[in-house]
């Protein structure tokens, strides 16, 4: 832009705006800043300040440390209530949830209820996949893992147990 003006290729701001694909008010603003502060003003990159964070770096570090500890938190509401007396900050539930779940990548430590009647051997057996060989090295019995249909027909899912199509409605036959 400055080279075009200096070399005399353009004489009006409208011509510059057409060549650069910018509005004439933008070209005017650029030229004013060049006249007032020189080339350094044109080369300066400005960034928008954006909103300030609700939680400081120290609060986030303390929250991370507490999440990593054995104690942890039982709910996001507990975190909101913890922030008030510990750090004197009132933060919305949605902000806490977004920080903990997505930015910090943490999950809350919540103990699941467990019955006192529960048999430990039955729990361990239920965690093993059915039909797979035991620890003794038995061969895999595919009949247990992939059972075949009992009827001799190819059951493609279009027929019910009586052999009739489930597409039949209001007296119509297969569609």
Q: Are 160 and 166 within 8 A, CB to CB?
A: yes
Q: Check whether 93 has a pLDDT greater than 90.
A: yes
pLDDT, tens digit, for every residue of 113-169? 677 787 778 777 776 655 444 555 555 555 555 555 555 555 555 555 565 555 555
The number of helices, as runs of H, and strands, as runs of E, in the chain is 9, 0
pLDDT, tens digit, for every residue of 148-163? 555 555 555 555 556 5
Cα dihedral 128, 134, 136, 141, rounded to 10, equals -160
Interacting residues of 93 by C-beta distance below 8 A, sequence separation 6+ = 76, 77, 80
Q: Are 94 and 77 within 8 A, CB to CB?
A: no
Could you tell me which residue, 147 or 54, shows the higher pLDDT? 54
Distance CA 175, CA 170 (A): 12
Return the number of other C-beta atoms located less than 10 Å from residue 103's C-beta. 9
Distance CA 14, CA 1 (A): 12
Structure-token pair, residue 40: 């350094």
How big is the CA angle at 95 (ends 89 and 97), to the nearest 5 degrees?
Answer: 115
Q: What is the value of pTM for the model shown?
A: 0.41
Helices 24-37, 13-20: axis angle to 10 degrees equals 110
Distance CA 155, CA 149 (A): 7
Please report the pLDDT score of residue 132 as a whole number.
46
C-alpha closest to that of 104 among 73, 137, 148, 127:
73
Distance CA 96, CA 89 (A): 11
Residue 17 DSSP code:
H
């Amino acid at each position: 832009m400055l080279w075009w003006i200096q070399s005399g290729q353009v004489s009006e701001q409208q011509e510059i705006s057409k060549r650069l694909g910018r509005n004439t008010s933008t070209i005017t603003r650029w030229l004013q800043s060049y006249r007032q502060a020189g080339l350094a003003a044109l080369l300066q990159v400005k960034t928008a300040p954006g909103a300030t964070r609700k939680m400081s770096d120290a609060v986030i570090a303390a929250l991370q440390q507490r999440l990593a500890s054995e104690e942890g938190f039982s709910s996001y509401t507990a975190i909101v209530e913890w922030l008030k007396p510990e750090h004197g900050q009132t933060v919305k539930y949605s902000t806490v949830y977004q920080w903990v779940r997505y930015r910090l990548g943490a999950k809350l430590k919540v103990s699941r209820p467990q019955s006192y009647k529960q048999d430990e051997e039955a729990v361990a057996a239920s965690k093993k996949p059915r039909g797979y060989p035991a620890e003794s090295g038995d061969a895999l019995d595919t009949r247990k893992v992939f059972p075949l249909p009992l009827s001799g027909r190819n059951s493609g899912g279009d027929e019910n147990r009586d052999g009739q199509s489930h597409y039949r409605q209001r007296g119509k036959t297969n569609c």
